[in-house]
Amino acid sequence: NLVNGFGEDAGRALTEHRDIKAIGFVGESRTGSMIMKQGAETLKRVHFELGGKNPVIVFADADLERAADAAVFMIYSLNGERCTSSSRLLFEASV
């Protein structure tokens, strides 16, 4: 099931309910930490996707035009609001 709502209202009811055995959460690290702490009381299983700093890595043998297009897509598509969006661009020294 999917529950949409605002943190304190929706979150605490889910994390403290004894019949809910697991919670999956996509969002901020701070909220994930709160979910883990609240869910620990009832030994909930948790799965988090908490924003990362995924790099786009470009090696010397890359097709640079394709790499540039891919980097722009990974960084800017969906306004960066994807679990796999990138926020760093790394190049091999020879590039």
Question: What pLDDT sits at residue 82?
Answer: 73
Within a domain: residue 81? yes
Q: Does the CA dihedral 79-83-89-95 come out positive or negative? A: negative
Per the CB < 8 A criterion, the answer to whether 49 and 26 are in contact is: yes
* Whether 42 and 11 share a structural domain: yes
pLDDT at 47: 93
The dihedrals phi and psi of 67, each to the nearest 5 degrees, come to -65, -40
- Whether residue 83 is contained in a domain is answered as yes
Establish whether 65 is a catalytic residue.
no
pTM (global) more than 0.75? no
Tokens of 79: 């306004």
Per-position DSSP letters for 13-58, written without gaps between them = HHHH-TT--EEEEEE-HHHHHHHHHHHHTTT-EEEEEE---EEEEE
The one catalytic residue in 28, 41, 83, 92 is 83
**Res 33 pLDDT > 80:** yes
Active site residue 83: yes
Question: Residues 6-28: what's their mean pLDDT?
Answer: 85
Residues 61 and 41 occupy one common structural domain: no
Instruction: Please write the tens of the pLDDT for every residue from 49-91.
Output: 887 778 889 999 999 999 999 988 888 887 767 767 888 899 9
Question: How confident is the prediction for the chain on average, in pLDDT?
Answer: 86
Q: Which candidate in 49, 65, 81, 92 is catalytic?
A: 49
What's the pLDDT at 80?
66
Does one domain contain both 65 and 42? Answer: no
- Structural domain count of the chain: 2
Q: Residue 74 is part of which domain span?
A: 54-91
Task: Tell me whether residue 59 is in a domain.
Answer: yes
| 46-to-31, 40, 49 alpha-carbon distances in Å | 13, 10, 10
